[in-house]
Structures are given as structure tokens and as C-alpha cells.
Amino acid sequence: MDHLHDANPLERKLVDKANRTRTPITANFELTPTCTLNCDMCFIRTERSVVEQYGGLLPLQQWLDWAEQLQSMGTLFILLTGGEPMLYPHFKELYTRLREMGFVITINTNGTLIDEEMVRTLQTRKPRRVNVTLYGGSTETYSRLCHNPQGYNRCMDALKLLKQAGIDVKLNVSIVKKNLEDYEQIIRLARELDIPAEVNSYMFPLTRSECRAARNIQAERLEADEAARIEMLYMEYKKGDGITRYMHDLKYTLAHTEGSSACSLECRAAKSSCWINWQGIMTPCVLMEAPAVSLRHTPPAAAWKQMTETAAMLPAHTECSGCGLRPVCNVCYAAASNEKEVAGSMDYLCRMAKAKARIITDFAPVRP
């Protein structure tokens, strides 16, 4: 869930230094859990009535105050996300104020609220990137999966507006059972629009209690073998002519991996990155509900210190010890925790890794 996973060399140096010094160089602002879509595999979307029951959305000045304090702690990059972040009533003003403060801003959106006025706001001080989630290649798929048939056309219009405005854009794609048949169409659209696509076929099980009653992600996500197949197909798209070398290197790595250590918190979460949800609760990432510190009661600097110290003591997942498939496994600390809590074990991750290993072992380049 790291929006800087494709960082340029300068950004990577800054992030690496932040990891070493435990500086929160990246903050993720989850402005609202409400959304214009209602996707069957979403682990965040919450009804507006529920949001009001929990006290409603945070005021603009609260986000700005926290941003100012985070900036003094070393924060440079901010992701504005949701839900659909553009549903936040003060989105345009918040975005503009954060850019004026010097933050490098990335936006996650489904594109349905991007019109010419929104593009003009973004053009004034351009974001680092706008990540637009594309859920399918037709109104039918959007109706079936997102329960909003207008979502597809609005998303396509948004992509064209962003491209015309010279704003950097990327497609985020989640593949589940209800849009599996759209995969090839989505890749064709990405090529036609000349927009890079990032495809995910592993769906985390639900963690948020307010979402569990409404959704069953285990029923919506692909079978482990199919998820592995789509991930490897995506790598062929991503690597292009370099796919043969890539698969050869993976095969070599698997053959020479004797066994891995237990799965600990190895990513940037609680090292150089934090997540702040719509209620003002700071966690290491969107997929970890603990350790958690409320910024309503604790200033960001103290909250960061408390969270990082607690995160450093989290027990590792020993089920991963000795496994030779870690180089191709989707496991991370949050995934392991959530699978065990919701599904009862990490079996899905293990089966997906084994399926990918088989694909890699059997891979043969297509001869011209």
C-alpha cells in the first residue's frame, strides 16, 4: 500500500534515510470512508449515516494543523485518499493549502468526481500523481461490481481530462471474480490511453469491524491459483520484452532460497510512513488497526513515537520461518495478521505462492 513504491532515485534516497532515522516522511490522509461507488471487495467504504454516528468527518483546520506538525517532524509526501477523497467537503481547499505548504501530494480516486473545475484546481499546483482506480471495461461491470453503472464513463472522462491537462496519472486495478473477464480489456485501455497500470489480484480480507457485516471479501476474491495466474500475466504486461529475464531470475532465486525467517514488520510502515484515518487515528498502515493512537488526544510527534515503539515490539509470524517461497509470496505483516484473524490461517497466501512458483518453474518464452 506504499504510494512511493515507484519512487524516483532522489525520492528513494530520501525514503531510505527516513527509514534509518525513523522519520515519518510519508503520511496518508484518509479523508473520508464514504464513496460514490460500493465495490463488493472494499474494506473501507462506510455509509454516511454510520460516519455521522461516529462523530462525522474532521474539519479542514484539523487536517491542516496535523499537516503543519507533521511537516515539522520531516513529512514531505502526503497521500490524499478515502473512500473517495473528493467527497470530503473541503477537498479542494485542503489540497491547495497542502501544496502551498510545500507538500508533495498524491491522490487516490475512482475518478467519478473529476470534472473540468477539479482539474483546474489540480493544474494550479500539480500533484505528484493521481492514481485512478479502474474496476472494469464496461458499464455492465461497474454495475455488477461497483453498483454504479455511471462509474465507468465518469472514470474514462476523468482519465481523458487528466491526460489533456498534463497531470501524471496511473491506473490502479483490483481483479476479483466479478471483473476477471475484464482484465484483458483493462490492459488494452491502459495501452490505448498510454497510462501505466498497476494490477493487484491479492485482496486482503476485511479488518474493519464497521465493514465486516456488509461484505465478504473471501467470497469475492479470486481463488488462489487464479490470483497467481493474473499476477503473473500482469508481470508479462509490466516487464514487456524483459519478461524472460525476469522469470529466469525468479526461477534462479527460488532454486537458491534455502528458507526465510519469520515474517516481521519489514516495510516502511511505522518506520517512515503512517496512516491517519477519517477519525484521526494514527496506525502504521491502512491494513493495521494496531498499534493505534488517536491524534485527538495525542499530538502527532508523541503519537508517532508511541506507535513506532509499540510496532517495533510486534511478534513475528513464525509460520513463514523456513519457507523457500517468500521471494514470490504476497505476505507482509499486515496480510499475515489479517488472514489469520479473518480466515483462520495463512493458507490462501501459501497456496497463491505455490501457484506462482509453478508458473515460474514451467515458464517458457514464446518463440517468434
Q: What is the pLDDT of residue 86?
A: 98
Q: Determine the Cα angle at 217 with ends 213 and 221, to 5°.
A: 165
Contact 259, 322 (CB under 8 A): yes
User: 10 Å Cβ neighbour count for 189?
Assistant: 19
Span 167-225, pLDDT tens digits: 999 999 999 999 999 999 999 999 999 999 999 999 998 767 666 667 888 999 999 99
pTM: 0.95
Nearest one of 132, 153, 131 to 142, comparing CA atoms = 153
pLDDT digits (tens, 9 = 90+) for 268-311: 999 999 999 999 999 999 999 999 999 999 999 999 999 999 99
* Phi, psi dihedrals of residue 169, rounded to the nearest 5°: -135, 145
pLDDT at residue number 8: 84
Residue 210 has what pLDDT?
67
Q: What is the predicted pLDDT for the residue at 9?
A: 87
Of 90, 76, 81, 75, the C-alpha closest to 43 is: 81
Alpha carbon separation from 292 to 27, 35, 282, 284 (Å, rounded):
15, 24, 6, 8
Q: Average per-residue pLDDT in the chain? A: 94
Helix H or strand E encompassing 76: none
Query: Residue 26's CB: how many other CB atoms inside 10 A?
Result: 28
Dihedral sign for Cα atoms in the order 322, 270, 340, 358: negative
Residue showing cell 498499534: 291
| Residue 315 burial (10 A CB sphere; 0-12, 13-18, 19+) | exposed
Whether the pLDDT of residue 1 is over 60: the answer is no
**Percent of the chain at pLDDT above 70?**
96
Does residue 17 have a pLDDT over 70? yes
Between the alpha carbon of residue 279 and those of residues 32, 77, 212, 264, 276, the distances in Å are 9, 20, 18, 27, 8
Q: What is the pLDDT of residue 317?
A: 96
Does the structure show a pLDDT above 50 at 35? yes
Give pLDDT, residue 213. 66
**Residue 366 reports pLDDT greater than 70:** no
308 or 3: which carries more pLDDT confidence? Answer: 308
Q: Provide the 3-class DSSP secondary structure of residue 275.
A: strand
Q: Quick one: which H or E segment has residue 325?
A: none
Where does the pLDDT of residue 367 fall: very low under 50, low under 70, confident under 90, or very high at 90 and above? very low
Looking at residue 365, the DSSP 8-state letter turns out to be P
Residue whose C-alpha is closest to residue 211's, from 62, 27, 35, 75: 35
